[in-house]
Chains A and B, each alone.
Chain A
Amino acid sequence: MLREFAPTSRLRSDAPTVGALLDDLEGRFPRLRSKLRDETGALRRYVNVFVDGENVTTRSPLSTSLVGEHTVDILHSIAGG
């Protein structure tokens, strides 16, 4: 579903944290602005961030370090009806 706003599925970034990565993504794909995070900077309710397979959403996701080589998955959870 995210591809509606960011027409790619994989890319590289030098961002040092998850928050900086989202800044990078929003700079490359302006339609992502306000989709992953609201205007206060908080992740939207159904957006999950995984770093090397581990869900960091319920901790301090935006300050999670990405120094070094990491794989980040940004996925939405299953919800709705």
Chain B
Amino acid sequence: MSRTRDGGIAMLEVAHLSKAFGGLQAVSNLSFTVREGEILGLIGPNGAGKTTLFNLITGMHKPDRGRIVFRGREITGWPPYRVVQAGIARTFQIPRPFRHKTVAQNVEIALLPNAIFARTGGRRERIAQVAACCARAGLCEAIGHEPRPHDGLCDCWHTYPNALPQAGLRKLEIAKALANDPKLLLLDEPFAGLTHQEVEELSDLVRELRAEGRTLVIVDHNMRGLMKLVERVVVIHFGQKLAEGTPEEVAHNPAVQEAYLAGTLHEHEGEGEGEDEGEGEGVRR
């Protein structure tokens, strides 16, 4: 495990990563480092290559060039399930629950072992883990059940994802990710389409997860909501790194302001931002 210039421990190192789809250079010679225990904001306008970057890190796409090193091990080109086993989990921008399975079964799927002949008795443990993950991600409230006072758990075996509101689906995405007990959690636009109160709730959850010792990378296309949450920001534009630094530094960076067409980056305050992309699709079945 290597150290960053200012002494932090590098958890994830992305070096000279490139990926093209046909003639479109989605990610171009991109390098950055995620430090252990931080909350990193990854921002950029729509189409900047943020989701592609997540897909490259999690093994859904193979990079054309470059390396990805996670906790000292090169994971470039690993299949997604091995990346998950190594300790990286992600959520999708548009929640992708397994619609025909209950909320709890959705989480159970993430807990399934890949071995065909696993030892018996695994299911009992899994059931307990499912309940813990659901409760941890705040799904009890989303389902409309009060967590039981003595252990904070609730019944999530009888609700289908279709019954969850958008914020609940986001929590389900996080519960699925937590089921794999990730060291590094990648959240793809978790705040898009949420109300102010829901954003606050989710921000609290993110802080709690960090306090548990997890590292988080949050993608957003603007810094609203991220300003108070993240310690460091990497700005991506046309697949390249445009700027890096604290939220204040980045917000006052002229190049960043230009990229965002005269400062919408830090001035945009409207609620319901992001409804134009994904919100409509998020409720599709």
Partners in one complex: no
